[in-house]
């Protein structure tokens, strides 16, 4: 053995300096970590802030007060026709557009602008709803609040910069003046945009709604959930509890692990090639979207399920086997109940991912312009994220706020799902 | 009788079979025994298993029959109906035949008041009767199967009969079938991509595709148009993909993600961690389309402004930098959570060991934790790269479509995924090289990510096993 | 040397409860056990000792086929429970494990109530035809496991809320509840402190006579304390098997002697 | 200190210790009995009774072997510590002492034949009294052991002096007696040995008391006895000086 | 009673290496230690024994401020290393831990080569000015930890590839490499089999005299074997502290006696 | 079996056992020395030498206490098993026996005063020879212990008979001598006791041999000795019958 070293002199200046520099490094490193996290947080806040600032106006709309005469002649119906079984049909065939145009023209002329610049193309729908609730309106002349045109809507929300030279902005000086007149008359107001949450897509931003896309998402996710939850859980159970170590099992494992990391667009190509081209399923249908997303979500659920099952300590299995439970009993009496919170958490996260997924659905045509709320699994539909994508491509300035508003809706759903997942995870985290 | 009703009836039958068999088994299980060992050795399975056994025998074969019928039944009925029509009123072409059947079914289901085609109108009663006949036959067969299956099983209910292993074997088969879905999906992907790609490579040489530097997949409007079959050199796409996904995004994501994970796991107090971790999860939960929108709407113009301000005149509004940075931010939580997992997988004992030697926390991290977690972190980064190059929406919305081969981050580049979306949206003709090229691109993308994934997962797995 | 175990000796049933003959175990290519032959008697506690990796746990797990759950394990030789080959095709492994109970190294109660922990075995085997009967089984098992007094007022509490030693006794109660003939214990005290260990040892002593007990331990003192028969394993071989007092005061084999006296080379 | 300690958690350990104590008790009872019976045989000059004593001795030897085995097994199996360990060691030592007491009794019994053939010798009247004291010492020492009573042990240990005094007076008487008549020499010699044996038995009872005291308290009586040893030595010396 | 430790006794330095006076530890509301006072001497191995949760490990971790890593822990009282309060503001925890090394319950070598494991401490503290010097330190440490002969031909192999006992000796070598004055060992053998345990115990005996060694163990026999001083903790209180032979053959306190003789009530 | 066993992994355990053996060796050497010196003093009628022997005895007692403490500490600290345990127990028993040998030597030495005052007695010529044999037995028994040699132990054990024969002849000679002249009675009585003590020392050497044999082999010589015990008893009886 070597001669014993001299005891380290910790108080020597060299050592002291060394320790000081080590502590300085420590502080720097710690700051870097904090800075990274802070940067990520700042970005998130910026992102959410931007979206919200752009989007909250999407839930509002500007309305203008017009004196409308429900002229039975122009409408082509009278109040008696609305009573009885044929009433609905009569209402649908009535010429509310005409009444609206008349009222709008009258007002627009006083302002020196075109009627289409004053009111929205779909403003007549408001009249129809009014008559539906009160058939007695026919033949009367009343003041009605109707949605303004897209440009006036933006003016109403102050989203148009009046300082910009006339040539570079969508509204002319005349229109601005007209709007100001209306405003000083108290004939414009800003209210909650109900159509946004109840209607489907439209070419006019002030009429476009997300309910169609939301229902499309819902239908798609139902298909996805029904398919991938049972299959995913069963696969996870098989792989984790029973699968013997062999080539076949390895193949399944590699498949699943790889599928989880395959770009989502590839699943879109699969859906396109197999479901649409090979099986001839209908384009743009929630069932195809659901199937495609199910294949994409399946590995997520399998992996989450396997992790949850694996985290059940083997000692529990030994214990059950030790008192004479069969392999199946072990799983269904002990492992599965204990793993369920984890599996559910994984499933919710998988579904949240599916809800936010866009690319594969583009491939199978769920970017169709659908103005109707989808009724079933095979009718053409779109989904929220695709709707966002479509609107983001629109040139009309009004769609910017719609896009952001749709994003807010989507994010709210995602937050709810993720929040539920986090809640589940925290509540059931590691009890053994 | 409709399939749904039939299935309901079968389920009812199965429930009855279960209850009956369980009661029968309970009768002999109710005897008293001197001790537990006697009981265990003289009665094999608990009554419920006998019940399940009989119920499954009653249900499953019949159910398979009914399901098979619901798949092929319609076409059988249709064939029969058409065959029984007079020859002259039979539809000739496939298209005719389909229109004909649609009308018939419409009338039968009551959606149509009447058919436009008189022949179809005439076929309606025939269709109805054939369908009823067959449904009855199938219902009868199903009942027979259920009865005989259930009866067979019923006779086997004995104290010593091993019902449990048989029921369990059935469950096992169902489990195995479920796990086949994953393999089928993989095969589906591979086969469909290869099938369409082969079509593509018949038209365009693979060499040109893989090594060509000119990408302009404009298709001919008319088949006889000369010289406008498009150029399919995908190198600019590959470069754009790598430039955005593997370079710019990673420059952003790796340091930020790694340092975030380190701060979270090693420095943050539990309370702070409780707030910060969900924050990263929120970042991870934001859909890519939102990032894309953000990149296009906010970041890209800002980048362009910045580029112009530093004197880069050819800055595009759809720049590689904008897409790359936003993608990097999107990947931060992914890198951070992989790194977090890897670092927490390093046993706490190692950290204690190092601290007990008098190392500072950062020394412990840099010299012990990171080296120990390195395989896991590297695996995580590779997975992140794989994810970045497969990411679609951000690049579709922010990177643009210009297939430039440039290293200037302020210029517009395009990526494989962006091109796939571009090529496959709108009208699709499955015989044009343009459409098919999307599948070739998909194949390349799949192959590359597959290799990355398998390698990364193997690395991560080996790493995990080291600490189990 | 046999004086002190005279009483135990006297009651040895002539018929062993379990017999193992020339049992070999292979894990893939590796041979983990080279032909072990042993008899296990009711009325006696049999201890398996030996260094890590000597095969004692492997052999224990052969006795109730817990090795079945390991794919690569292959077992050769014959193990009989009351004369029946437990590896015969007609032997149902579930029934076997009900008859040959097991207690593990780490206490592993189910994360359920104490009551449910004990009631689980009787439930799956259908040993109780009524709630009252089940209650009786649970009480009796807990009493036998010397746990009743400590838990009788909180049977609905979770089994995992008990202390380590109590958990292990709960696991023993759970094993007892299906009224097994043999109880295998795999280092049941290695995760416990001396106090809990002493209580388990005392319990093992109480249970002797009712069940054939086999205990694996790497604590030689423990084997000396609780067992009447000791088997010393080394490198997969059964080196010596005999009366515990004899093994610990006057072993016949040099390897046994070196091991128990702490001469590990 | 002489309260019964609380039970061990592992009750079979208590069982082992109880067994050990029972064996010592049985052995001590036998030995005391041997002492009593041998003295009775000497007094009664009863060769048959003496023979019975000789034949009983192997039982004591057997129990000693048993105690030793049980003690070794207990150490091996229980790894006793503190007072448990001292108790086991005490049992081991006490059994050896008791065995020796038995030997002395046997040796005395063997001498009955020789004594019986001659006429009774006068100084013998002291023997029963001496034997009574010695026997009581053995009894009390064993009692002290059984009850873990260090005070009783100390008491026994103090009584050794009186035995020595008896022995000295007997020794003097016998020497005188022998000188009176050469025919007295053989029986008196045996008587001398008998007296010496009794004295030794008393010593051994003292030994037991010392062991009991140590086992119960963890402290040695010996240290103080060494201070007292002069007494003992004097007593021996008295015997020697008597001769001068 | 002190005969056999006479040699150890003789060499006790008059000045204790570490002293603890009335140390109390609180975990949040809960008080884990109620005023412990102890001296630790170089030349002596001090063992802490007691049932689970008695505070022995908690106290050990106070001695090198490893409790600092637990946020909720609060320490009251005075602990001195060579007369300096280790909780004083001017005491640098990095230096303290270099001077008071620690070995843990589970062997925890870094997943690096054997060489790097041992070189780690000297590197971070800058104890070697050249590669040759570092090599010398590594060799010397491994030699002292009785591991050199087993690993000298494979210093570049991973430390985690060693057996459990070797890993633990590697951890000891790692602790030795910074030439500490005190080595704390927290149940260093509880994860090891009897053979590895015996080797560690032998090593502890070898190291005695060069370092003040404190070992926590819940194996009483082990404390008896390796230590010269034993402290018995119970419910956060130091019940008895004294010469090991004395504690194990003639303890003064009833609680100590009951514990070491296995009377756990 | 008499090879040195391999070392313990924990070397301080070996150290403890070695220490124990050293102490026994030292104690045995002292005792043998005491025996030799006491006999020499008797032969030389040297009261001062005798006094020196008496004064050395406490050293043996001290070592015995040391052995006991070390044995207890070893059991407490090492929890020895198998032959280690037997060896510690053997040390404990042997030390008690050696202490007794020392006592006998001391007792003999004390008698030198009484003998020296009278004229030399004839039968004493046998004593040195007997002492030589006995001393050799003690020596060999300790040797057997030190070398863990069961064969040597068995050899010692067999030699006990010859000591008994010497004793018997001395006994007869002394009786005759006493009868010749009443003045011979006192020194002869002491001589008788000396002879008896030497005989007892021989017995004790035999005891040591038995213990060594058991410690080394785990088997008892006693069993066979019990069959042989008649020899022993006969020898005692011979002594008695001689008198008849």
pLDDT tens digits for range B273-282: 888 888 888 8
Mean pLDDT, 10 residues at a time, over chain C (265 residues)?
38 74 88 90 91 87 85 86 88 86 90 92 85 92 91 90 90 91 91 86 89 90 90 91 89 88 77
User: What is the pTM (predicted TM-score) of this model?
Assistant: 0.81
Task: Tell me the chain F residues in contact with residue E244 when contact means C-beta distances shorter than 8 Å.
Answer: 77
Judged by CB atoms within 8 Å, which residues 2-41 of A form the interface with E?
A: 2, 5, 7-8, 10, 15, 18-19, 22-23
- Judged by a CB distance cut-off of 8 A, whether residue D228 touches chain F is no
Q: How confident is the model at residue E5 (pLDDT cuts 50, 70, 90)?
A: very low
pLDDT beyond 70 at B82: yes
- Tokens, residue A313: 């300590």
Q: Which CATH superfamily is domain F11-243 in?
A: Phosphate transport system protein phou homolog 2; domain 2 (1.20.58.220)
Reference B393, options A359, E80, A428; nearest CA is: A359
- List the single residue in F10, F69, F74 with the smallest CB-CB distance to E198: F10
Query: Cβ-count burial of D142 within 10 angstroms (0-12 exposed, 13-18 middle, 19+ buried)?
Result: buried
Do chain A and D touch: 3 or more Cβ pairs under 8 angstroms?
A: no
- List the single residue in D6, D81, D86 with the smallest CB-CB distance to E265: D6
Number of C-alpha atoms within 13 angstroms, CB side, residue B251? Answer: 10
Q: Say how many Å lie between the first and final Cα of chain C, rounded.
A: 28
- Judged by a CB distance cut-off of 8 A, whether residue D6 touches chain E is yes
What is the spatial distance between Cα C34 and Cα A277, in angstroms, rounded to a whole number? 62
- Judged by a CB distance cut-off of 8 A, whether residue C247 touches chain D is no
- Judged by a CB distance cut-off of 8 A, whether residue D50 touches chain F is no
Number of H helices, E strands in chain F: 7, 0
pLDDT beyond 60 at B170: yes
Reference B56, options B94, B123, B10; nearest CA is: B10
- The residue extents of the domains of chain D are 11-243
* pLDDT at residue D164, rounded to an integer: 82
pLDDT beyond 70 at B300: yes
* pLDDT at residue B466, rounded to an integer: 67
Spatial contact of E111 and E160, defined as CB atoms under 8 Å apart: yes
E44-55 average pLDDT score: 89
Residue E4, number of CB atoms within 10 A of its CB: 25
Q: Note the pLDDT tens digit of each residue in D38-89.
A: 888 888 888 888 889 888 888 998 999 899 889 988 888 888 888 888 889 9
**Which of A290-299, B446-455, E145-154, F119-128 has the least mean pLDDT?**
F119-128
* pLDDT at residue B31, rounded to an integer: 63
Q: What is the largest CA-CA distance in chain C?
A: 60
The sheet with strand E100-103 has its strands ordered as: E100-103, E182-186, E212-216, E45-49, E229-234, E237-243
Q: How far is C246 from chain B (nearest CA, A)?
A: 34
* pLDDT at residue A7, rounded to an integer: 64
Regions of chain F where pLDDT drops below 50? 1-3, 223-244
What is the spatial distance between Cα C184 and Cα C173, in angstroms, rounded to a whole number? 13
Domains of chain B with CATH codes = 3-161 (no CATH), 216-467 (1.10.3720.10)
What is the spatial distance between Cα D113 and Cα B445, in angstroms, rounded to a whole number? 117
Spatial contact of B174 and B81, defined as CB atoms under 8 Å apart: no
What is the spatial distance between Cα E110 and Cα E118, in angstroms, rounded to a whole number? 10
DSSP secondary structure letter of residue A383: -
CB pairs under 8 A between A and E: 29
The reply to whether ipTM tops 0.85 is: no
Q: Note the pLDDT tens digit of each residue in B358-400.
A: 888 899 998 888 888 888 899 889 989 999 998 888 888 888 7
In Å, how far are E49, E189, F174 from E219, measured between CA atoms? 8, 9, 63
The residues facing B77 across adjacent strands are none
Most confident of B43-47, C202-206, E90-94: C202-206
Q: Is the Cβ pair E248, D82 closer than 8 Å?
A: yes
* pLDDT at residue D42, rounded to an integer: 85
What is the spatial distance between Cα D124 and Cα D127, in angstroms, rounded to a whole number? 5
E53-62 average pLDDT score: 89
**Phi, psi of A431, rounded to the nearest 5 degrees:** -95, -10
Q: Is the Cβ pair C99, B41 closer than 8 Å?
A: yes
pLDDT beyond 50 at D233: no
Q: Is the Cβ pair C262, F9 closer than 8 Å?
A: yes
Q: How far is C95 from chain A (nearest CA, A)?
A: 6
* pLDDT at residue D173, rounded to an integer: 83
B161-175 average pLDDT score: 88
Spatial contact of B467 and B345, defined as CB atoms under 8 Å apart: yes
CA nearest E249 in D: which residue? D82
What is the spatial distance between Cα D85 and Cα A80, in angstroms, rounded to a whole number? 113
Do chain D and B touch: 3 or more Cβ pairs under 8 angstroms?
A: no
What is the spatial distance between Cα E122 and Cα E116, in angstroms, rounded to a whole number? 10
The residues facing E212 across adjacent strands are E182
The sheet with strand C18-27 has its strands ordered as: C30-40, C18-27, C73-81, C84-85
Task: Tell me the chain D residues in contact with residue E261 when contact means C-beta distances shorter than 8 Å.
Answer: 8, 80-84
Q: Is the Cβ pair A19, E140 closer than 8 Å?
A: no
DSSP secondary structure letter of residue C5: G
Q: Which CATH superfamily is domain A211-429 in?
A: MetI-like (1.10.3720.10)
What is the spatial distance between Cα F139 and Cα E72, in angstroms, rounded to a whole number? 69
Regions of chain A where pLDDT drops below 70? 1-7, 84-86, 429-432
| Helix runs in chain E, H state only | 6-10, 56-62, 93-99, 114-125, 131-144, 148-151, 164-177, 194-207, 220-226, 244-249, 254-260
- Judged by a CB distance cut-off of 8 A, whether residue C201 touches chain D is yes
Domains of chain E with CATH codes = 1-9+16-82+228-265 (3.40.50.300)
Spatial contact of B414 and B398, defined as CB atoms under 8 Å apart: no
pLDDT beyond 80 at B316: no
- The residue extents of the domains of chain A are 59-192, 211-429
In Å, how far are D109, D197, F164, F232 from D191, measured between CA atoms? 11, 10, 20, 21
- Judged by a CB distance cut-off of 8 A, whether residue D19 touches chain C is yes
What is the spatial distance between Cα A370 and Cα A352, in angstroms, rounded to a whole number? 23
In Å, how far are A9, A29, B262, B358 from A23, measured between CA atoms? 19, 10, 18, 12
Q: What is the mean pLDDT of chain B?
A: 83
* pLDDT at residue F242, rounded to an integer: 30
Q: How far is C96 from chain F (nearest CA, A)?
A: 38
């Amino acid at each position: 053995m070597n001669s014993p070293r001299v005891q380290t002199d910790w108080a020597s200046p060299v050592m002291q300096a060394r320790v000081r520099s080590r502590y300085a490094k420590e502080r720097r490193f710690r700051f870097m970590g904090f800075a990274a996290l802070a940067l990520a947080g700042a970005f998130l806040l910026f992102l959410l802030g931007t979206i919200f600032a752009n989007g909250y106006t999407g839930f509002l709309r500007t309305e203008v007060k017009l004196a409308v005469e429900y002229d039975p002649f122009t409408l082509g119906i009278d109040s008696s026709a609305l009573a009885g079984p044929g009433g609905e049909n009569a209402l649908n065939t009535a010429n509310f557009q005409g009444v609206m145009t008349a009222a709008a023209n009258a007002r627009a002329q006083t302002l020196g602008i075109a009627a289409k610049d004053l009111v929205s193309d779909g403003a007549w729908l408001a009249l129809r709803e009014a008559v539906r609730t009160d058939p007695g309106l026919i033949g009367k002349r009343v003041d009605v609040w109707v949605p303004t045109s897209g440009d006036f809507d933006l003016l109403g929300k102050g989203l148009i910069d009046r300082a910009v030279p006339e040539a570079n902005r969508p509204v002319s000086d005349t229109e601005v003046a007209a709007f100001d007149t209306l405003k000083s008359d108290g004939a414009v107001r800003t209210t909650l945009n109900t159509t946004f949450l109840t209607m489907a897509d439209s070419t006019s931003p002030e009429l476009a709604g997300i309910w169609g896309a939301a229902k499309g998402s819902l239908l798609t996710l139902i298909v996805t959930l029904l398919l991938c939850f049972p299959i995913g859980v069963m696969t996870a159970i098989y792989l984790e509890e029973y699968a013997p170590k062999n080539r076949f099992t390895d193949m399944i494992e590699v498949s699943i692990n790889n599928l989880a990391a395959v770009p989502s667009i590839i699943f879109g190509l699969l859906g396109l090639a197999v479901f649409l081209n090979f099986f001839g399923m209908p384009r743009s249908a929630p069932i195809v979207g659901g199937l495609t997303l199910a294949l994409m979500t399946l590995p997520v659920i399998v992996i989450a399920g396997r992790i949850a099952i694996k985290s059940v300590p083997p000692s529990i299995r030994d214990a059950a086997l030790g008192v004479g439970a069969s392999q199946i009993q072990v799983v269904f009496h002990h492992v599965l109940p204990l793993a369920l919170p984890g599996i559910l958490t994984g499933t919710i996260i998988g579904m949240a991912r599916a809800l936010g997924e866009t690319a594969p659905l583009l491939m199978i045509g769920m970017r169709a312009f659908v103005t109707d709320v989808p009724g079933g699994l095979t009718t053409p539909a779109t989904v929220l994220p695709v709707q966002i994508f479509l609107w983001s491509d629109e040139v009309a300035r009004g769609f910017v706020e719609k896009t952001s508003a749709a994003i807010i809706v989507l994010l709210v759903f995602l937050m709810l799902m993720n929040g539920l997942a986090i809640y589940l995870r925290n509540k059931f985290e590691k009890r053994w | 009788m409709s399939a749904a009703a039939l299935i309901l009836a079968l389920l009812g039958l199965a429930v009855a079979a279960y209850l009956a068999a369980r009661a029968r088994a309970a009768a002999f299980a109710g005897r008293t025994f001197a001790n537990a060992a006697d009981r265990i050795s003289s009665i094999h399975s608990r009554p419920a298993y006998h019940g399940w056994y009989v119920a499954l025998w009653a249900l499953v074969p019949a159910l398979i029959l009914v399901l098979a019928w619901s798949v092929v039944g319609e076409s059988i009925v249709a064939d029969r109906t058409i065959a029984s029509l007079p020859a002259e009123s039979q539809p000739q072409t496939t298209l005719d035949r389909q229109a004909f059947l649609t009308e018939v079914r419409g009338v039968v289901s009551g959606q149509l008041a009447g058919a436009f085609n008189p022949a179809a109108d005439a076929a309606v009663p025939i269709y109805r009767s054939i369908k009823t006949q067959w449904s009855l036959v199938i219902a009868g067969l199903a009942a027979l199967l259920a009865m005989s299956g259930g009866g067979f099983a019923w006779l086997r209910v004995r104290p010593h009969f091993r019902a449990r292993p048989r029921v369990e074997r059935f469950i096992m088969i169902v489990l195995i079938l479920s796990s086949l879905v994953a393999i089928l999906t993989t095969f589906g992907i591979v086969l469909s991509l290869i099938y369409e790609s082969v079509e593509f490579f018949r038209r365009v040489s693979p060499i040109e595709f893989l090594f060509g530097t000119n990408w302009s997949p404009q298709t001919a409007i008319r088949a006889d148009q000369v010289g406008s079959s498009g150029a399919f050199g995908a190198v600019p796409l590959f470069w754009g993909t790598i430039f955005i996904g593997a370079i710019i995004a990673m420059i952003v994501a790796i340091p930020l993600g790694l340092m975030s994970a380190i701060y979270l796991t090693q420095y943050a107090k539990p309370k702070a961690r409780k707030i910060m971790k969900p924050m990263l999860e929120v970042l991870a939960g934001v859909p890519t389309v939102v990032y894309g929108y953000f990149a296009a709407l906010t970041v890209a113009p800002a980048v362009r402004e910045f580029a112009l301000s530093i004197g880069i005149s050819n800055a595009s509004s759809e720049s590689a930098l904008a897409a790359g940075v936003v993608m990097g931010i999107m990947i931060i939580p992914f890198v951070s959570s992989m790194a977090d997992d890897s670092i927490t997988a390093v046993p706490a004992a190692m950290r204690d060991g190092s601290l007990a030697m008098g190392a500072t926390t950062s020394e412990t991290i840099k010299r012990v934790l990171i080296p120990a977690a390195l395989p896991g972190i590297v695996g995580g980064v590779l997975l992140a790269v794989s994810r970045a190059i497969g990411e679609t929406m951000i690049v579709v919305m922010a990177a643009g479509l210009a297939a430039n081969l440039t290293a200037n981050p302020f210029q517009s580049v395009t990526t494989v995924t962006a091109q796939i979306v571009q090529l496959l949206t709108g009208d699709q003709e499955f015989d044009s090289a343009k459409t098919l090229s999307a599948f070739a691109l998909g194949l390349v993308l799949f192959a590359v990510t597959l290799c990355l994934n398998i390698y990364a997962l193997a690395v991560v797995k080996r790493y995990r096993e080291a600490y189990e | 040397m046999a004086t002190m175990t005279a009483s135990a000796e006297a009651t040895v049933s002539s018929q062993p409860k379990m017999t193992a003959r020339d049992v070999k175990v292979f894990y893939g290519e590796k041979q983990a056990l080279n032909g072990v032959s042993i008899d296990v008697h009711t009325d006696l506690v049999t201890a398996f000792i030996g260094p890590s990796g000597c095969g004692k746990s492997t052999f224990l797990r052969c006795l109730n086929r817990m090795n079945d759950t390991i794919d690569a394990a292959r077992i050769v030789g014959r193990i009989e429970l009351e004369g029946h080959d437990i590896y015969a095709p007609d032997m149902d492994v579930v029934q076997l494990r009900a008859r040959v109970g097991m207690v593990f190294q780490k206490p592993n109660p189910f994360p359920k109530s104490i009551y449910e922990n004990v009631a689980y075995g009787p439930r799956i085997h259908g040993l109780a035809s009524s709630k009252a009967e089940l209650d009786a089984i649970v009480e009796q098992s807990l009493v036998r496991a010397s746990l009743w007094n400590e838990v009788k007022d909180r049977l609905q509490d979770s089994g995992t809320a008990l202390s380590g030693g109590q958990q292990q006794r709960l696991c023993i109660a759970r094993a007892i509840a299906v009224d097994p003939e043999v109880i295998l214990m795999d280092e049941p005290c290695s995760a416990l402190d001396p106090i809990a260990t002493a209580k388990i040892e005392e319990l093992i002593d109480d249970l002797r006579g009712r069940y054939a007990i086999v205990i694996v331990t790497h604590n030689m003192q423990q084997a000396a304390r609780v067992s009447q028969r000791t088997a010393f394993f080394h490198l997969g071989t059964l080196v010596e098997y005999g009366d515990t007092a004899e093994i610990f005061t006057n072993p016949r084999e040099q390897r046994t002697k070196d091991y128990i006296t702490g001469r590990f080379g | 200190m002489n309260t019964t300690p609380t039970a061990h958690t592992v009750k079979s350990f208590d069982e082992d210790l109880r067994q050990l104590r029972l064996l010592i008790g049985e052995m001590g009872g036998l030995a005391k009995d041997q002492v009593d019976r041998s003295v009775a045989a000497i007094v009664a000059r009863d060769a048959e009774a003496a023979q019975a004593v000789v034949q009983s001795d192997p039982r004591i030897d057997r129990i000693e072997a048993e105690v030793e085995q049980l003690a070794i097994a207990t150490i091996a199996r229980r790894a006793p510590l503190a007072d448990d360990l001292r108790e086991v060691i005490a049992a081991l030592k006490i059994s050896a002492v008791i065995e020796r007491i038995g030997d002395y009794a046997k040796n005395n019994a063997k001498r009955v034949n020789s004594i019986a053939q001659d006429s009774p010798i006068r100084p013998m009247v002291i023997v029963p009294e001496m034997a009574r004291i010695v026997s009581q010492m053995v009894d009390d020492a064993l009692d002290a052991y059984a009850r873990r009573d260090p005070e009783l042990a100390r008491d026994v240990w103090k009584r050794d002096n009186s035995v020595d005094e008896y022995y000295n007076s007997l020794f003097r008487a016998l020497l005188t007696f022998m000188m009176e008549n050469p025919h007295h020499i053989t029986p008196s010699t045996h008587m001398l040995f008998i007296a010496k044996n009794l004295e030794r038995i008393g010593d051994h009872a003292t030994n037991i008391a010392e062991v009991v005291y140590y086992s119960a308290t963890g402290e040695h009586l010996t240290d103080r006895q060494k201070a007292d040893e002069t007494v003992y030595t004097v007593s021996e010396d008295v015997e020697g000086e008597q001769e001068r």
